[in-house]
Amino acid sequence: MAALPRCAVRWFLLSLILALPALAATAPHISLAVDATEAPRKIFHARMTFPANPGTLTLYYPKWIPGEHGPTGPIQDLTGLKFTANGSILKWRRDLLDGWTIHVEVPPGAANVEAALDFISPTGPDGLYTGGASATDKMSVISWNTMLLYPAGWTSDELTYEARLRLPAGWKFGTPLPVASQSAAEIRFKPASLTTLVDSPVITGEYLRVVPLTENPLREMDIAADSAGALEAPPEVFDHYKNLVDQAEKLFGAHHYREYHFVYSLSDHVAHFGLEHHESNDSRSEERALVDWQKRLLAAGLLPHEYVHSWNGKYRRPADLTTPDYEKPMQDDLLWVYEGLTSLAQPAGHRRRRARNARFAPSVGVLAAAAGLLRRRCAELALGGHDHPSTNPWQEIPGRLLPPLPRRPEWAP
């Protein structure tokens, strides 16, 4: 055998050393089964299996939720925690300094830890965003971050979850999360990173209407309501949402999602907000927000705003808001760009041109003033200022700087 040149041996050893961490550490695959069959009672059950080694397994409940801009993970509604390995119940305790962190004692011989939890979805005004009211007798939104734990030591991009979901009998569903298979009893989703899972809500309900907007790429509205009548909007309403995606494509010139779902809840008994995701938005309005023209007008800016976030806030995001997991705090000093630019850029395909122009044609001076106000207000909020009653300063700005909406548009019925 001929001797290898010394430099080749050095390179081989060096590349071996560099590859060792990757060889030694394989990011875990976690199975997650969510039972939402008791959604009408606002009770959800989840079971997970974590690969584990003897010692301490540290798990997190998602705390800093993207788009919510704060430590809003609803830990107060998490209950029923139980950990087992090889059939034995394990000891666990909550971290003394952080309520979202849980330490589990893994005994010798255990290769996996089974975890079980219950999530109690609140009623009334309690809770923020995905931690707010999310289930009624007729519908629910499954926000995965409320129903799972994840192991410390990995980024949310590195962790892979294989999720399964059971729904109440007869309830339909819509989601951007790719489905592997489904039966009457269960939906199995394709393996996805924790980042994608948390970014992909499922809307489900007895009354669910899927409205196709475009075919290639697929864009659709997945709308669940507390009544069948709430889904019967005039056909032109959906034409306006088709215009919205058309206008956005013209405005941005490209998109970065595989497909897009407007996940829209219509209920007087869920929390009302909009939450952006890369391939969807979780928006929630009053039950008659599509069929009553006044309510429709009031809610008309919601879906365009959340849609723009797919570009500004998801595909592009301030560095301080781009965190490796849901435990590291986010910093909101550039939130004025994230939210302010989105509010000013949102297309208006849902409105007639005259109403849009009256509302969304600010001058350069107005834009500059708005940017300054937004920056100051957001910075004050981030620093904990209490002298301003508004908690949504970017929503306050257009009302101060732009002309008010007409009381009754000429095109209204």
Rounded to whole angstroms, the Cα distance separating 9 from 378 reads 57
Nearer to Zn ion by C-beta: 238 or 311?
311
Which one, 69 or 261, has the nearer CB to Zn ion?
69
Return the residues of window 13-42 that contact Zn ion according to CB under 5 A.
Answer: none
Work out the burial of residue 214: count CB atoms within 10 Å of its CB; fewer than 13 is exposed, 13-18 middle, 19 or more buried: middle
- Closest C-alpha among 183, 333, 192, 209 to residue 261: 209
Cα dist. 250→196, 244, 256, 364 in Å?
Answer: 27, 10, 14, 21
Residue at shortest CB range from Zn ion: 339
Measured in whole angstroms, the distance separating CA 123 from the mean position of its chain's CA atoms is: 20
d(CA 84, CA 116): 9
Looking at residues 327 to 356 of the shown chain, list those that interact with Zn ion (rule: CB under 5 A).
339
What number of chain residues touch Zn ion (CB under 5 A)? 1
Of 293 and 315, the one with the shorter C-beta distance to Zn ion is 315
What gap in Å lies between CA 304 and CA 155, rounded to an integer? 31
Residues 233-262 that bind Zn ion (CB under 5 A): none
Q: Which is nearer to Zn ion, 42 or 305 (CB)?
A: 305
Tokens of 256: 């970065």
Minimum distance from CB of 140 to Zn ion (Å)? 23
Least distance to Zn ion, CB of residue 164, Å: 31
The C-alpha angle with vertex 200 and arms to 197 and 201, in degrees rounded to 5, equals: 115
Residues of this chain that interact with Zn ion (CB under 5 A) are 339
